[in-house]
Amino acid sequence: MANYTLTTPLSSEDTKKLKAGDTVLLNGTIFTARDAAHKRLTDLIAKGEELPFDLEGSIIYFVGPTPPKPGDPIGSAGPTTSYRMDSFSPTMLKNGSKGMIGKGKRNQAVKDACVEYDGIYFGATGGAGALLGKKITSAEVIAYPELGPEAVRKITVKDFPVTVINDTHGNDLYQMGRAEYEVKN
Amino acid sequence: MREIEFDVVVKAVRDIIVHCGTDLPKDTYEALEEAMNNEASPVSKEVIRQILENANIAKNEKRPLCQDTGLAVFFVNVGDEVKIKGGLLRDAINKGTEQGYTDAYLRASTCEPFSRANLKDTLGYNLPAIIHFDIVAGDKIDIEYAAKGGGSENVSRARVFPPAAGKEGIMNYVKEVISDAGGNPCPPITVGVGIGGTFEKACISSKHALFRDIGSVHPNPEMAEMEAEMMTLINNLGIGAMGMGGTKTALAVHIESNPCHIASLPVSVNVQCHSSRHTHITI
């Protein structure tokens, strides 16, 4: 398992070298979206309309942060459970997005889309919202402010720690890790 | 009759919510330290190290431990010699909840089921709280509180078995629920198991079981043994911290058992994430 530092936007060259289990420190611009925002974004794609940000090479972070304390760009901001975005993620990857950050397992369609479109599913430590929020140096709501915590934000991250769960080769860290430590009765 | 001022309850509830939002309880913190020290997988060990570092940052800088600051869940035992002066106890708990979630910059996570509209500007900030009342003897109010996140709630399940399923049926069911959950509920988890009663009684018991301190031993030796057996079954699944593979999937299994109908064997499995934010006060 290797350690990398990557800066967004990501290219296929960046993503193809990553293997499940590798750890990555992410830098640059990332976009946040969760359930309701994904529905709206994929509806726009279906209608051929312009998105609020450029998907090419983008990383989407599944997060609904707490309100910022005075003087902070954002509050606590750890990942939410990703399977709820399973029905939307293949469309996002097909249209140029190269990565997602969340927690928890994805369905086969998402794993297949990672292989087909050179996408990566990164896991961040769920419940480490205070630690991860501090890795975010700026945040700006760029779409759907009425969704509150679920609004789309453009954030800048500095050495944001993630682990590769699903890579472009079809590997799945959750399955590999569990198989290694499962005790059969 | 002892009279307790409405605002005294509001302040007490507000204070425990602010505290729990940023300060991981001692029992949870120590159980995580022990899990980190005994975890065989280096990947899971690193995850638990991050979880503990997060707890230190949250405590020292007064930041929410997790962005999912939960729905506020209360078990309230009201003494039969207590009267709330100036309002209803339910209203006082809700008002304290709203103040605590606002003052500590916690997230408003309640919404309308289908439109998903956030209710902070209509019903109130993160309202309503989920409150389970009981009446007991005495002149005090006993309040147990936990912040309950959505990820772990989403993997929770209940089922009413026929009596013949027995202990083995329940053990297999708990194993199945946790196995299917994988890393989604943010392990290392606490598993609350409600057994017996009626359908809803089993569910409420499984929730209440999560309020017990991690590391405490069940007073009934048979139940204590069953908890230990379930822990082994769960940790043998290999799920590990955040599902990355490892030997520490659960910090604790807590059972609450009740008498039940001769035709039924209800069981409910309620899961709490590693950020087990819970506390208890008496007014």
Q: For chain B, what are the domain ranges? A: 2-20+65-148, 151-276
Cβ count near B188 (within 10 Å): 31
With 0-12 / 13-18 / 19 or more C-beta atoms within 10 angstroms meaning exposed / middle / buried, residue B112 is exposed
Q: Which pLDDT score, from 0 to 100, does residue B37 have?
A: 97
Find out whether A33 and A58 touch, Cβ atoms under 8 Å.
no
pLDDT of residue B16: 97
- Reported as a pLDDT band with limits 50, 70 and 90, residue A146 is confident
Q: What is the pLDDT of residues A72-128, one digit of tens each?
A: 999 999 999 999 999 999 999 999 999 999 999 999 999 999 999 999 999 999 999
To the nearest whole Å, the CA of A28 is away from the closest chain B CA by 22
Q: For residues B101 and B126, what is the distance between their CA atoms, to the nearest angstrom?
A: 7
Q: What is the Cα–Cα distance from B32 to B213, expressed in whole angstroms?
A: 13
Helix residue ranges, H only, B104-220: 150-153, 166-181, 199-209
Secondary structure letter of residue B257 according to DSSP: E
Q: What percent of chain A has pLDDT over 90?
A: 93
The pLDDT confidence band at residue A19, using thresholds 50, 70 and 90, is very high
A173: nearest Cα among B82, B51, B182:
B182
Please, which residues have CB within 8 angstroms of residue B122's CB and are 6 or more apart in sequence? none
End-to-end CA distance of chain B: 14
CB contact under 8 A, B41 and A176: no
Rounded to whole angstroms, the Cα distance separating B6 from A175 reads 53
Query: Helix and strand tally (H, E) in chain A?
Result: 6, 7
Place of tokens 């939002």: B21
Whether B64 sits inside 8 A of A75 (CB atoms) is yes
Closest CA to B9 of B127, B135, B125, B100: B100
Structure tokens at B247: 């030997």
pLDDT at B114: 86
Identify whether the C-beta of residue B183 lies closer than 8 Å to the C-beta of residue A103.
yes
- Average pLDDT (A140-168) is 93
First to last CA, chain A: 29
Supply φ then ψ for residue A114, to 5 degrees: -60, -40
The H or E element that residue B2 is part of is strand B2-5
Among the partner residues B50, B62, B151, nearest to A80 by beta-carbon distance: B151
Q: Is the pLDDT of residue A185 over 70?
A: no
The domain made up of B151-276 has a fold known as 60s Ribosomal Protein L30; Chain: A; (3.30.1330)
Closest residue of chain A to B151, computed from CA coordinates: A81
User: Among B62, B238, B245, whose Cβ lies nearest the Cβ of A183?
Assistant: B238
Q: Which residues in chain B are contacts of A161 at CB distance < 8 A?
A: 50
Angle between the N-to-C axes of helices B6-22 and B89-103, in degrees from 0 to 180, rounded to the nearest 10 = 40
Give the Cα separation of B89 and B128 in Å (integer): 13
Collect all residues of chain B within an 8 Å Cβ-Cβ radius of residue A63. 67
Q: Which of B68, B189, B236 to mutate to test the interface with A (most CBs of A within 10 A)?
A: B68
Sign, CA torsion B98/B102/B104/B109:
positive
Distances (CA, A) of A17 to A2, A14, A172: 10, 6, 15
- The CA distance from B229 to the nearest CA of chain A, in Å, is 13
Question: A147: which chain B residues are within 8 Å (Cβ-Cβ)?
Answer: 118
- Per the prediction, chain A carries an average pLDDT of 95
Chain B residues inside the 8 Å CB shell of A62: none
A148 chain-B contacts, CB cut-off 8 A:
108, 118, 120
Burial string for A16-26 (b: 16+ CB within 10 Å, else e) reads eebebbbbbbb
- How many residues are listed for chain B in this entry? 283
Q: List pLDDT tens digits, range B199-255.
A: 999 999 999 999 999 999 999 999 999 999 999 999 999 999 999 999 999 999 999
Residue of B230, B242, B275, B277 to mutate, testing the A interface (most A Cβ within 10 Å of its Cβ): B242
Record: contact A129-B66, CB cut-off 8 A: yes
- CB pairs < 8 Å spanning A and B: 171
**Mean pLDDT of the region B128-138:** 98
Contact status, residue A85 vs residue A104, Cβ threshold 8 Å: no
Chain mean pLDDT for chain B: 97
Alpha-helix runs per DSSP H in chain B:
6-22, 26-38, 42-61, 89-103, 150-153, 166-181, 199-209, 221-235
Does pLDDT of A149 surpass 90?
no
Distance from CA of B273 to the nearest CA of A (A): 8
User: Distance, in angstroms, between A53 CA and closest chain B CA?
Assistant: 24
Per the CB < 8 Å rule, is A103 touching B58?
Answer: no
- Chain A residue numbers with beta carbons less than 8 Å from the beta carbon of B249 are none
Name the one residue in this structure whose structure tokens are 């913190």.
B29
Pairwise CB contact (< 8 Å): B43 & A75 = no
- Whether residue A177 contacts residue B41, with contact meaning beta carbons closer than 8 Å, is answered with yes
A165 C-beta neighbours (distance < 10 Å), count? 33
Q: Name the catalytic one among A34, A38, A105, A106.
A: A38
Q: Full-prediction pTM beyond 0.90?
A: yes
Active site residue A169: no
User: What fold characterizes domain A3-181?
Assistant: fumarase (3.20.130)
* Maximum Cα–Cα distance across chain A: 54
Instruction: Find which of B67, B68, B110, B120 to mutate to test the A interface (most A CBs within 10 Å of its CB).
Output: B67
- The chain A residue lying nearest B149, using CA atoms, is A127
